[in-house]
Amino acid sequence: MLFGLPPMGNQLSIPKINQIDDHYDVVIVGAGIVGAGIFRDLSLHGLKCLLIDKKDFGSQTSQSSSKMLHGGIRYLENFDFGLIWEALHEKNLWLKLAPHLCYEDAFYLPVFKESAKPLWMLKIGLFIYDLLSGFQNTAHRLLGKKATKLEIPSIKEDGLKGAGIYYDAIMDDVKLTLEVIYDGLQEAHAQALNYVELERFTNKDTINDLQLKDCITGTRRTITCLQTVMALGPFADNFLMSQPNIPWSPKLYPSKGSHLWINKSVIDIKHPMVLNTIDGRVIFVIPRNNAILVGTTELETKEDFFDMSPSKFEIQYLLDSLNEYFPNKNINHTHILSNFSGIRPLVQDENSRGESLKRTSRVHHNYQPFSNLHIILGGKYTTFRVMGQEISRTIVQSFNKVFNSSLTKRPLRQRSIVLPFDNLKKDLTSMDLENIIQKEHVRTLEDLKIRRLGLRNSGHWNFSSSFEELYSNVSEEIKSNLIEAEFK
């Protein structure tokens, strides 16, 4: 893994709920990527901001993506050209701003005799994709059958016609969310708290009262703010309907997406692939470090949205889809390293009602029940920076400040101590763990393992020393600040 620079100064000192101020210019509720982006934007504009989340930062939908910054190749079918244009330009911006967290890669899209779109039609689509990027993407290519087999030896040969190759970006969704927050925290007037939930919201004309609760210690307190932003993702409807002081009706069309991490030795691929399933889904197969990511599903669900896991059906669906393309590999449950699920907060509107989930638009929507309460729903990870700027602009101007849309085009100033891609061969030490715990808002062992180290189980571990060995040498004083059990 690649190690970042040590945290700078004391900007990332971690406050407790009883140490925060009584009043803020803005409180942002929800520390997924959208809330993180708005928090950073407002902090860079000099506003006194507090960011809170009921769980760890980026621990729900924002850690459950397909790990891509992309325009959305499948949205060409929906003619969502505006969304694709915006997403491709944002993708290429982040390749420049955070090259330690994302990189461009070639995506292979195989075509078979029975495919809905032949190679000539695919070529047109890939040209449009490059066009919408302003030709910032590396140019697409087409391969014939023989060249495709050379590139992907294990792919099924029956009916194979060739493949299209286009370029998008691979990224680490959790690390990008965290570093966006860390960048906002470089401003002296900004604070962030994980495991702190909003229990009650009350609007009092120009002031909002917020009753907060620390979910680990149980400590409660009430603070006030002039503006409140709720970036709650898939949890928005349930929370807002529970608040008698907020007029709200359901807006979301929640979609469960599940992924598998499988052993990299199972399939001999060097670059991501795009698989079109019989039922019209798109599944990405993405090699990364010592594993391959496979996903995603897209199912309506009524489960509890927090800390989700794939169903047996979803796991088998993904395995069956892989075996359809790689029939000689017999990919099965023994090859799975880990899995994860999340909920996409798709928004119902007149254009999406009655549509299948795979055709529902990813355009975001803003709502304003009160003049100083802003709610953002929908959208996609890649466009998080621009999604929040309508709200950021409104809030900044309400403080008689000039809004500068280019502030968030600056590079992120604070790197994580452990970075996701294996570019340097440097081992991890117990001191590194101590620095992460002290500087990167770690409150539970799960935070440390999954979101700061990328360790879901031993199959994801790239270091010579075991985690248990390293953690045993962390000072007891530092360990005492950590909740050992996984927080649910």
Phi/psi zone of residue 454: left (φ > 0), alpha (ψ -120 to 50 degrees), beta? Answer: left
Q: Identify whether 93 is part of a domain.
A: no
Q: Identify whether 487 is part of a domain.
A: no
What DSSP string describes 221-266?
EEEEEEEEEE--GGGHHHHHHT-TTS-----EEEEEEEEEEEEGGG
Q: Residues 199-217, buried b or exposed e (16+ Cβ, 10 A)?
A: eebebeeeebebebbbbee
Both 341 and 264 in one domain: the answer is yes
What DSSP string describes 375-433?
EEEE--GGGHHHHTHHHHHHHHHHTT----TTGGGSPPS---SEESS--S-----HHHH
- Which of 346, 385, 382, 344 minimizes the C-alpha distance to 364? 346
Helix-helix angle 119-132:81-97, to 10 degrees = 60
- 461 has a pLDDT exceeding 80: no
Q: Average pLDDT of 416-428?
A: 74
State the pLDDT confidence band at 225, using cuts at 50, 70 and 90: very high
Q: Identify whether 353 is part of a domain.
A: no
CATH number reported for the structural domain that contains residue 290 in this entry: 3.30.9.10
- The per-residue pLDDT for 368 is 95
- The per-residue pLDDT for 254 is 86
Q: Identify whether 350 is part of a domain.
A: no
Q: Identify whether 422 is part of a domain.
A: no
Name the percent of the chain lying above pLDDT 70: 92
Mean pLDDT value across the chain: 89
Residues in the chain: 488
Give the type of residue at 22: D
- 6 has a pLDDT exceeding 60: no
Question: What CA–CA distance (Å, rounded) separates 30 from 28?
Answer: 6
Q: Average pLDDT of 79-93?
A: 93
Both 235 and 310 in one domain: the answer is no
Helix-helix angle 33-44:389-398, to 10 degrees = 30
Q: What is the pTM of this model?
A: 0.92
State the pLDDT confidence band at 114, using cuts at 50, 70 and 90: confident
CA 221 to the chain's CA centroid: 30
- 456 has a pLDDT exceeding 80: no
Question: What CA–CA distance (Å, rounded) separates 166 from 471?
Answer: 42
- 77 has a pLDDT exceeding 50: yes
State the pLDDT confidence band at 344, using cuts at 50, 70 and 90: confident
Both 125 and 221 in one domain: the answer is no
Cross-strand bridge partners of residue 203: 208
Q: Identify whether 395 is part of a domain.
A: yes
Question: What CA–CA distance (Å, rounded) separates 279 from 488?
Answer: 35
Pairing outcome for strands 207-214 and 364-370 = unpaired
What does the block give as tokens for 104? 């461009």
Both 160 and 268 in one domain: the answer is yes
What does the block give as tokens for 243? 């608040």
Question: What CA–CA distance (Å, rounded) separates 345 from 232?
Answer: 9
Both 393 and 431 in one domain: the answer is no
Q: What is the DSSP letter of 303?
A: S
Both 136 and 229 in one domain: the answer is no
Question: What CA–CA distance (Å, rounded) separates 302 from 256?
Answer: 9
Q: Identify whether 230 is part of a domain.
A: yes
Give the type of residue at 328: N
- The per-residue pLDDT for 458 is 59
Both 38 and 181 in one domain: the answer is yes
Number of domains within the chain: 3
Q: Which residue has the higher pLDDT, 264 or 140?
A: 140
CATH number reported for the structural domain that contains residue 196 in this entry: 3.50.50.60
State the pLDDT confidence band at 280, using cuts at 50, 70 and 90: confident
Both 166 and 246 in one domain: the answer is no
Question: What CA–CA distance (Å, rounded) separates 436 from 414?
Answer: 13
Domain enclosing residue 334, as ranges:
103-170+255-345
Question: What CA–CA distance (Å, rounded) separates 361 from 85?
Answer: 14
Both 164 and 259 in one domain: the answer is yes
Kindly report, residue by residue over 158-215, the tens digit of the pLDDT.
Answer: 999 999 999 999 999 999 999 999 999 999 999 999 999 999 999 999 999 999 999 9
Kindly report, residue by residue over 283-302, the tens digit of the pLDDT.
Answer: 999 998 889 999 888 888 77
Boundary (domain end) residue, out of 321, 345, 369: 345
Question: What CA–CA distance (Å, rounded) separates 323 from 319?
Answer: 6
Kindly report, residue by residue over 243-274, the tens digit of the pLDDT.
Answer: 999 999 999 888 899 999 999 889 989 999 99
Both 154 and 292 in one domain: the answer is yes
Kindly report, residue by residue over 356-388, the tens digit of the pLDDT.
Answer: 545 555 788 999 999 999 999 988 899 999 999
Please tell me whether residue 175 adopts helix, strand or coil conformation: helix
Q: Average pLDDT of 344-352?
A: 72
User: For the chain, what is the radius of gyration of the CA atoms?
Assistant: 22
Both 143 and 268 in one domain: the answer is yes
Both 53 and 17 in one domain: the answer is yes
Q: Identify whether 188 is part of a domain.
A: yes
- For CA atoms 34, 36, 39, 40, the dihedral sign is negative
